[in-house]
Structure 1
Amino acid sequence: MPPLSEILIFSAALIAAGAAAGLLAGLFGVGGGAILVPVFYQVYGLLGVPDAVRTHIAVGTSLAIIVPTSIRSFNAHRKRGAVDMDILKGWVIWLPLGTILASVVAAYVSGAFLRIVFMVLAMLIALKMFFNREHWRLGTEMPRGPVNAVAGGTIGLLSGLMGIGGGTLANLWMTLWNRTVHQSVATSSGVGVLISIPGLFGYIWAGWGEPGLPPFSTGFINWITVALIIPVSLLMAPLGVRLAHAMTRRQLEVGFGLFLMAVSIRFLVSLF
């Protein structure tokens, strides 16, 4: 058992991280993974978590936190009839398989590899935010069969490696095939459920018995972080929402893009 003073310092730092993550998640309207992973990476570094496991814990713990929020969001959207269940049924095998594959990959790759994946995808999402055009389309109907399976598996794999619920990537895919933003957002809440639950168990397995884990960790999931972040982030999110309503959609897109660009640069610097 680590000293009480160490646990208290660790908890205080995470509470501050949860407040920042909740504020930013409410401000930018994202599920939190894209916010949580870089915040956790910074906090764990300040607390002396070894670099060999720091990124892995940030990603795995982010997926664990997304589980309850994605389930709650999915149920709310489903009650409103906004979720396209046909899309989710087509991905019900492929999204979890992609996420499980991500946890297998995470068990054997370095933290630097995970940071590179996050950095590249965050940069691409940031560019989409900067140059987003609603008329960009690949077609009018989403593909089915093998193309749909590959898309679902890829979204699960990349989301599992990034520690996100897949909403951003699923939204991008669906809107490119003429789905409305509102329907894409609602359906993506179900994507979060199909990614975060297998991701939780996958990262527990991937990190089982790893040296250097912070106190109260099971594999690459840190339960102190989970317990502290969820209530604090939920408390701070409404403040972020109020700030968001004072800004235009374009300001939010550019703001989130700048945040992701800053994260990409921070991870790039960490590689040297």
Structure 2
Amino acid sequence: MIFTLEYFIGLILIGVVAGFASGLLGVGGGFLIVPFQYFLLEYLGVDPSLAMMISLGTSLAIIIPTATSGASRHLKVMDNILKPGIRLGLFGIVGSILGGLIASMLPTQILKIIFGCLLLFIAIRNLMSADKKTSKARAKFNLINIAVVGVLVGISSGLLGVGGGVFIILILTAIFGFSMIEAIGISSVFISLTAIGGTVSYIISGWGVNPFPYSLGYVSLVNFAVIAMFSVPLAYYGAKIAHKVPEKRLKQIFGLVVLYISLKMLGVVP
């Protein structure tokens, strides 16, 4: 298979956009990396089922350095995000391994529908709450709740090839009462860890099965190298900008971006 110049330009654009979104919104960028990679691989002529698995596995691998870059910038401003992020992330690793194994057994169309519906819910919920101030905590941030949330979001991470930031931010703000900027910082730490488990599961499930050149399981080393080269520095810059943007505006940007991607995955918009 020959990698064209158009393909590399596409990978660079994915890295720039996803990296900036990752740092700005506290997400790994997977909700952008997965669909954009999928559409690019389909354009290249890759079978849709294989394109989806490569997109999911490679996305999680890219999220590790990208989210870590964003988290390092948030930690310079907020020293209270490391402990909750690590505690959630340790349980998230377990969940993401399970999610990655489940994904290898599900049809591509089912994965696209699940991905699109979950993102649609998150987008609507976020846009509706943009004007609200920080919510009061509805549940204690204790070990039991941390374990349940960490594992469940971890499963969604591995299943959908995302770090889980789009889900964990909503939970941290709506249920545990964290502010949006705190949730973004904690999410960056969380997904840096969670993506590790998912990446491992996609390497294992795709070992000896994936015919795509220069791959480790379902992780495309070419896609990883090019996208990460741009996503890592842009994530750091995005995290820096996040601390200068009003919380309401962050919620609106987050909601609109997720809304578009959800409709794209569901086939509602071209």
Flag whether TM exceeds 0.5 (same fold): yes
User: Are the counterparts in 2 of residues 63 and 164 from structure 1 also a CA contact under 8 Å?
Assistant: yes
Distance 1:218 1:194 in 2: 20
Distance 1:29 1:107 in 2: 27
Distance 1:88 1:245 in 2: 21
User: Are the counterparts in 2 of residues 104 and 202 from structure 1 also a CA contact under 8 Å?
Assistant: yes
The question of 1:96 aligning with 2:72 is answered: no
Letter in 1 for 2:163: G
Distance 1:239 1:73 in 2: 8
The question of 1:193 aligning with 2:192 is answered: yes
Q: In the alignment, which residue of structure 1 is the partner of 2:36?
A: 39
Shift of 1:117: 2.0
Distance 2:183 2:250 in 1: 18
Larger radius of gyration: 1
Which sections of structure 1, spanning at least 5 residues, go unmatched?
none
Q: In the alignment, which residue of structure 1 is the partner of 2:255?
A: 257
SS in 2 for 1:192: helix
The alpha-carbon distance between structure 1 residues 53 and 184, as it changes in their structure 2 partners (threshold 3 A), is same
Q: In the alignment, which residue of structure 1 is the partner of 2:219?
A: 221
Shift of 1:32: 1.3
Letter in 2 for 1:194: L
Letter in 2 for 1:218: L
The alpha-carbon distance between structure 1 residues 214 and 14, as it changes in their structure 2 partners (threshold 3 A), is farther
Task: Map 1:21-100 to 2 at 5 A.
Answer: 21-22=18-19, 24-25=21-22, 30-78=27-75, 80-85=78-83, 88-89=86-87, 92=90, 94-100=91-97
TM-score by length of 1: 0.82
Task: Map 1:106-185 to 2 at 5 A.
Answer: 106-132=103-129, 133-134=132-133, 136-137=135-136, 139=138, 141-145=140-144, 147-175=145-173, 176-185=175-184
SS in 2 for 1:269: coil
Shift of 1:269: 2.2
Distance 1:23 1:76 in 2: 13
Distance 1:149 1:247 in 2: 31
Shift of 1:154: 0.3
Overall identity of the aligned pairs, in %: 30
Distance 1:58 1:11 in 2: 15
Shift of 1:186: 2.5
SS in 1 for 2:267: helix
Q: CA RMSD in A?
A: 3.1
Letter in 2 for 1:210: V
Q: In the alignment, which residue of structure 2 is the partner of 1:232?
A: 230
Letter in 2 for 1:34: F
Distance 2:252 2:18 in 1: 18
Q: In the alignment, which residue of structure 1 is the partner of 2:265?
A: 267
Which sections of structure 2, spanning at least 5 residues, go unmatched?
none
